[in-house]
Structures are given as C-alpha cells and as structure tokens.
Structure 1
Amino acid sequence: MNIISGIKLVTFDATNTLIKFRMPPWHYYALVAKDYGFTGTEREVKEKFIDSYRCMWEKYPNFGKSSIPWDQWWRKVVERTFEGQIPQGKETVISKILIEEYKTSKLWCVAQGGRQLLNILEKKGINTGVVSNFDPRLHDILRSVGIIKQFKFIITSYEVGCSKPDKEIFSLAMKKCGLSEPSECLHIGDDVKKDYEAAISAGWRALVVPSGDAPLAMTEDSPAPEHVYPDLLTLANCIEKL
C-alpha cells in the first residue's frame, strides 16, 4: 500500500508524535520546586499535575483561549500542582521558570525518525505542517529543536480558537496550502480520537504512531493495522522506499 499516493499535505501532531519530552514534566517540576522549598515526591507531583491539567482544561478549555491568557492558564496549573506544598509566593517564581524553560530544547527533542521523515517528504515535494492542541510556545519549541523551517505552517489550537478533534482545525490546515480535497491530506498523530479518528472524520487520511507512554490498545474500533506505525523512523523508512 502506497500511503502517500496522491498526498499533497502531511501534518503532524506535536507532543508525543513529532516532539518528545526529554524527561517527564512532573520530574522537572519537582526538580525546580525543590530549590524553592518543595519537599514532596515526584509521584505526588505527577498525581497533582495530571489532576490540575485535567481540571483546568475542563474549566478553561484550550488553554483558556476564550477566558484567560495561556500563560495565566499554566500558572494556575503550577499553583494547583504545588498547592500547600511550597512557601507562599514561590509558585509565581516556579511557574515563570517552567513556562520559559518549556519553550526550549533543554526539555524537548525531536522524536526518533522525525528529521528523516521531514527530509524525505521534502524531497518528494510534499508540503508539511503542524496541527496541535498547544499554546503559542510551539513556535519557539520547533525553532529551538531546529525544524521550524521545514513546515509550511504551524497551527496551534490556542491561536486559531479550536482544538482537535474539531474538524475546523483540519479545514484551516487545508486553507493554509490552498487545498480543497481532504483526500489529498494525511495527518500523523499518537491519539486515536483526537488525531486518527478526527482526521478521518474530516475526510483526510491518517496514521497513528502510539506514544511509548500510552501504547495503543487494539479493539474492534482500532485503526487498521496498516495505519499504525511503532515510530516515525519506521514510517520514514517505509515512505523512503515508495
């Protein structure tokens, strides 16, 4: 099967697909907080961080797009994560450090095979873009890891005001390339619902590259096996042979 036959645009999800954390966020959160009086454990930070992120997304969807600035949204996540566990006032300093450092290659790297895949698609004359549920720092991150120039466009949910799995975000990506046929577009991501099913629902083709932290659970409703790749390197090698 030629997975890129007729394809004019390939878009990527960002977190856990195109780019990866160099270390789990809760590990670095705990590391930074220890310099400001935190004495708890990484496990405690993980539990509180995951809960804080979930609560904030439910209360202020899409990083607070319609209600609060994205950086204030993240400050609230940090505050909730360390609530009652650090001296009063220190959460402001900690959140400022974390917000700034999570813009850089100190904490992010390109996923294995990512650079190879981008280079192969470029050689084949296929446009590439990023479609991600992310705040505006994604531009800084992709610049820091050295791949921003390879994309025709970068769409973050915060900047456009809609997030995956909304079909509208895929329509916006097509407009960026002047395309009108969804079947000429391919999206690659790690989330079955937000990436694979959402793209298919928008009329696109789609592939899944499961996150190592959350292996794909195969069910009757799972993507077809030929639409699932273990990593971007395997996918790059397959496409290079076509």
Structure 2
Amino acid sequence: AYRALLVDVGGTLLETSQPVPQVYASFGSKYGIQADADAIKKGFKKAFSEPWPERLRYEGDGRRFWKYAVATATGCDNDDYFEELYQYFGRGDAWKLVDGAERALKDLRVQLAVVSNFDSRLRPILAELNISDVFDALVISSEIGHEKPAKEIFLTALDELGVQARDTVHVGDDPVADKQGANAVGIDAWLWKKEVKSFEEIKDRILVPTSFPK
C-alpha cells in the first residue's frame, strides 16, 4: 500500500478559473491585440515546446520565461500588458481546485506533497485557496533549482516526506515531466485524466488498492 502521494499543480490539482487564451484575449483588447483564442493557444504551445536557453524556465518569480511566453503567444511585448497578466495569474481567484480534490486529499491517510514546476507565486496562490495546510510539503521547482522530469525534484519530495520511492505514487498530467520523471526514481505514476480521472478515484486506488488492476 502507498504511504505517500505526490501531486502536480497546473492542469492536475488546479485549473484556471477561465480558459487562459480567453484571459489573454480579454486583457489584450485594450492594448490592441487582435489574436483570437485559437491563435494564442498555438503561440503558447510554441513557447512551451521550444528549448529554453536557461537551466530553469521558472527562475525565482519566473518573469523572464513568462514574458517570453506572453510575447510569443500574443505577438505583443507591451510591459503593462504582461504585468497585468502576470499579477492576475498570481492571485488565488485566477485558479480553482479541481472538483473533489480537497475532500479526497483530506480523507487520505497518507503523506502528501505538491511537486510542481512553478515560480514563486505558487505558495501565495495555494494559501489563498486554503489548500496549503492539506500538504505536508510543497516542493516547487523555482525554490529547489530543478524542474520535472529531473530526478532531484522527486528525491527532494521523498526526503521532505521521509518516505521511500516504492511507497509513493505521483499524479500529474505530463507524460514526460510527471510519469517518466517519477518512474525514473522508482516512484509509480498515474497520468491525470488518462489513468485516473478524479481525486476520488485517486483516493480509492490508494486506500483500496486490491480493487484496481495493477
């Protein structure tokens, strides 16, 4: 049986309150940005798929990477526009917990850690959403200097929780950063929305493992 659960944040534990391209487009209207939501989505994919020259995408507050991502997604490098977006996504109300997550996590009798590639805005966001205290550890890439799929971020989580890899499962939405990264250090991993579809299911699989095929 598992003794610990590691959870990815963006796209797993948290969703944006409104679709990201929609937010970019609505904020952008006063700066004359014409790009529609689909074009912004494509630009975003490009920004995230290109190799980033620095060792970390999210260094400290992550501004350098996000400035590049916003400019690539929208074609606009206006500082005021970027700052509005950056501040908005640093607020708790820009995000929401996925349905059932808080209740399921509180019902789980295992060690819990967030393991996230994120910048320094994450702690305040989780605090505003009143979810920080549910976790025994928050392991954030910008704080430890390693990003998933690097083994160091997963090993830090194991160390902070005081558990072994074999007793731990990680849930995230990225096949490389989450699944391959966790598996590389001997941690089982379930892909969010593919192998597990709700936090209730995660809870059941941990508490009653015999009911589920390996």
Q: Scaled by the length of structure 1, what TM-score is found? A: 0.77
Alignment of 1:136-215 (within 5 A): 136-179=120-163, 181-210=164-193
The corresponding residue for 1:63 is 57
Q: Contact 1:62–1:133 at 8 Å: present in 2 too?
A: no
- Measure, in 2, the Cα distance between the counterparts of 1:209 and 1:23: 20
User: What stretches of structure 2 of length at least 5 have no aligned partner?
Assistant: 210-214
For structure 1, which segment, 170-179 or 73-82, has the greater mean C-alpha deviation from structure 2 after superposition? 73-82
SS in 2 for 1:59: coil
For residues 24 and 238 of structure 1, do their structure 2 counterparts lie closer, same or farther at Cα, with a shift above 3 Å needed? same
- Measure, in 1, the Cα distance between the counterparts of 2:61 and 2:97: 27
How far is 1:23 from its partner?
2.2
The corresponding residue for 2:103 is 116
Match of 1:59, as an amino acid?
P
Which residue, out of 40, 43, 54, partners 1:45? 40
For residues 49 and 22 of structure 1, do their structure 2 counterparts lie closer, same or farther at Cα, with a shift above 3 Å needed? same
Alignment of 1:78-97 (within 5 A): 78-83=70-75, 91-97=78-84
- Measure, in 2, the Cα distance between the counterparts of 1:96 and 1:63: 18
For residues 134 and 69 of structure 1, do their structure 2 counterparts lie closer, same or farther at Cα, with a shift above 3 Å needed? closer
- Measure, in 1, the Cα distance between the counterparts of 2:183 and 2:49: 26
For residues 26 and 15 of structure 1, do their structure 2 counterparts lie closer, same or farther at Cα, with a shift above 3 Å needed? same
Which residue, out of 232, 235, 238, partners 2:199? 232
User: What stretches of structure 1 of length at least 5 have no aligned partner?
Assistant: 211-215, 217-227
- Measure, in 1, the Cα distance between the counterparts of 2:128 and 2:95: 9
Q: Number of matched residues?
A: 209
For residues 77 and 191 of structure 1, do their structure 2 counterparts lie closer, same or farther at Cα, with a shift above 3 Å needed? closer
Q: Scaled by the length of structure 2, what TM-score is found? A: 0.86
How far is 1:160 from its partner?
1.0
How far is 1:205 from its partner?
2.3
For residues 133 and 41 of structure 1, do their structure 2 counterparts lie closer, same or farther at Cα, with a shift above 3 Å needed? same
The corresponding residue for 2:31 is 36
Q: What percent identity do the matched residue pairs reach?
A: 23
For structure 1, which segment, 23-32 or 43-52, has the greater mean C-alpha deviation from structure 2 after superposition? 43-52
